[in-house]
Amino acid sequence: FMYLFAALLTAAAHYIYFRYFDNGYIVNKYAEMLDSSLSANIPGLEEYVAQVKEGMELIRSMTPIEITMQLMSLNVFYCAILAFITAPFVRRTKS
């Protein structure tokens, strides 16, 4: 349960950040990085640019609660994997 509560606490922090502090900063930084990589004229990159731009527009259209729920679902998934890995090390043995 420790990992689940950690995911909930992290989700609260994510929501506060995306609701009150971010104002599109992260998405804008990703867009700047995309534009700078396009100016480098890397061969073969053009194929992926349209998909990345479409993904950026999808992320821009998401509300803070949608972003938070997406990140929380990922965190719960990662926590489940971590729980299976750490469970054998912390299990109780009969004395």
Domain ranges for the chain, please list them: 2-90
Q: What is the pLDDT along the chain (95 residues), one digit of tens a residue?
A: 788 899 999 999 999 999 999 988 998 998 888 888 777 777 777 778 788 888 889 999 999 999 999 999 999 999 999 999 998 898 888 86
Tell me the H-state helices in 17-63.
25-39, 46-61
Measure the CA dihedral 74/76/78/83, to 10°. 180
